[in-house]
Structure 1
Amino acid sequence: MNEQATQDEHWRLFIALLVPASIRETLAAVQAGLHKAAPNALIRWTNQEQLHLTLRFMGNVPASSLDELAAALKAAALKCDALRLCTQGIGFFPNSTRPRVVWSGVADDDHRLERVFQVVQEATNPFTVEPQEHRFTGHITLSRVKAIRSAELAELRLTAEKYEGRSFGAWQANELVLMRSVLSDSGARHEVIHSFPFFPGAAQES
């Protein structure tokens, strides 16, 4: 078991792909532009250092399960090849009329990202009570909207439209990462618990 964990602890975990610093810096500039469009809205912007692509939110997982979870993720990663990813454009969940999440989309040239998502879902099902996602939209969360007036929402949407089709950078993802989210009054802090390299050539063997 992880040396930092005790038998009765629960850790708030998620599985992710990390984003290079250069792209996080570009996305931070995009965040600044979006914030300028809605400066008085109640929006929680993702810290630049914490921008990532979530493959699965695990919720609170017993620390005693960490070793088994790590073994499952290691095996899952070996079924996947490295991914060539690109982040582009701005979108809203659930929609642009009543947005709760502002995000930048992530796509891959070889259309293998969804397979990685499915492999991760299957590997982690035994370790979480969080529902399995059946519809996947690759994205990087830029902010969460708590409250926004209609005038500022209109400006936010107009600003987002200016980024339509615009690329914010491409990168190669070579590993899965198991992350811990530590909640506090000042916000969440993310820690890398384990990383699991993909297996070169796995796409050809699958």
Structure 2
Amino acid sequence: MMTGLTPRLFVAVPLPAAQKKLLDSWGRERKREWPFGRWVFREDYHITLQFLGNCSEEQIKKMIPALHKLAAEQAVFSLAVQGLGTFGRPEQPRILWAGVGGELELLHQLQQQVVQSLAPIGFLPDDRPYRPHITLARKYQKNHFPLQSLQQLQLWKTGDTTWKVKEIVLYETRLGRQPMYHALERFPFKK
């Protein structure tokens, strides 16, 4: 944990190495043709459950047991990387993302349980509806993003996009580093 500074934290579902490798390989093929300001580093791929922002040591001491208790009650479920999309203006997107498929109802339930578990500690739920995704790149640098061609692309031709979700992770953001997200604590599912 960072000393002297208040850490910026979030809770997320981690991606396994195989899916990270496939996403990274796909992204490297697109970097030249799609000038985004920043492509996400391979080890930083994740599915956010709740962004917490700056957290005090007192909050961290309370959230860790709450998340361990929550994880102990979770059963393993399956997700898959599925589809592509953007957030922001279609011609100049803010975010390029890979979508999530699989047992989405269980993912949404998990996200709600994380929010409910952390609300008593002072973390308010987001106003926007939950839209699970994996951020691939940020800030398109031109004004003519080829959105139509994005819909026709496959993420990859070979490789399994499905994995079993067996844990959630409390990540700390470390700006200017690679990887930028550091796992402070892992919460394995017990069921």
Q: Separation in 1 of the partners of 2:183 and 2:60?
A: 13
Among 117, 130, 135, which residue is 1:136 paired with?
130
1:164 Cα offset (Å): 7.5
Q: Separation in 2 of the partners of 1:5 and 1:159?
A: 39
Question: Cα deviation per residue 1:25-64 (whole Å; 9 max; x = unaligned)?
Answer: 10011112322322xx342100011111111111000123
Question: Cα deviation per residue 1:119-171 (whole Å; 9 max; x = unaligned)?
Answer: 01111224455652551122111011153232xx12x6514531289886111
Structure 1 portions without partners, runs of 5+? 201-206
Aligned to 2:189: 198
Q: Separation in 1 of the partners of 2:155 and 2:178?
A: 30
Aligned to 2:9: 13
Q: Separation in 1 of the partners of 2:23 and 2:105?
A: 23
Aligned to 1:204: none
Aligned to 1:178: 170
Aligned to 1:61: 55
Q: How many residues align?
A: 190
Question: Cα deviation per residue 1:84-139 (whole Å; 9 max; x = unaligned)?
Answer: 11011111113534411111011223631100010011112244556525511221
Q: Separation in 2 of the partners of 1:108 and 1:89?
A: 12
Among 23, 32, 37, which residue is 2:19 paired with?
23
Helix, strand or coil: the match of 1:121?
Answer: helix
Residues 1:33 and 2:29 are matched in the alignment: yes
When the two chains are superposed, the root-mean-square deviation of aligned CA atoms in Å is 2.6
Q: Separation in 1 of the partners of 2:163 and 2:56?
A: 33
The answer to whether the 8 Å contact 2:92/2:142 transfers is: no
Q: Separation in 2 of the partners of 1:138 and 1:76?
A: 19
1:93-132 matched pairs, under 5 angstroms: 93-94=87-88, 96-109=90-103, 111-128=105-122, 131-132=125-126
Helix, strand or coil: the match of 1:13?
Answer: strand
The answer to whether the 8 Å contact 1:14/1:54 transfers is: yes
Helix, strand or coil: the match of 1:176?
Answer: strand
The answer to whether the 8 Å contact 1:125/1:132 transfers is: no
Question: Taking structure 1 as the reference length, what is the TM-score of the superposition?
Answer: 0.80
1:9 Cα offset (Å): 4.3
Q: Separation in 2 of the partners of 1:177 and 1:70?
A: 10
Helix, strand or coil: the match of 1:17?
Answer: strand
Q: Which moved more, 1:72-81 or 1:53-62?
A: 72-81
Helix, strand or coil: the match of 2:29?
Answer: helix
- Pick closer, same or farther for the CA change 1:24–1:13 going to 2, 3 Å: same
Amino acid of the residue matched to residue 175 of structure 1?
A: E
Question: Taking structure 2 as the reference length, what is the TM-score of the superposition?
Answer: 0.86
- Pick closer, same or farther for the CA change 1:102–1:50 going to 2, 3 Å: same
- Pick closer, same or farther for the CA change 1:187–1:135 going to 2, 3 Å: same
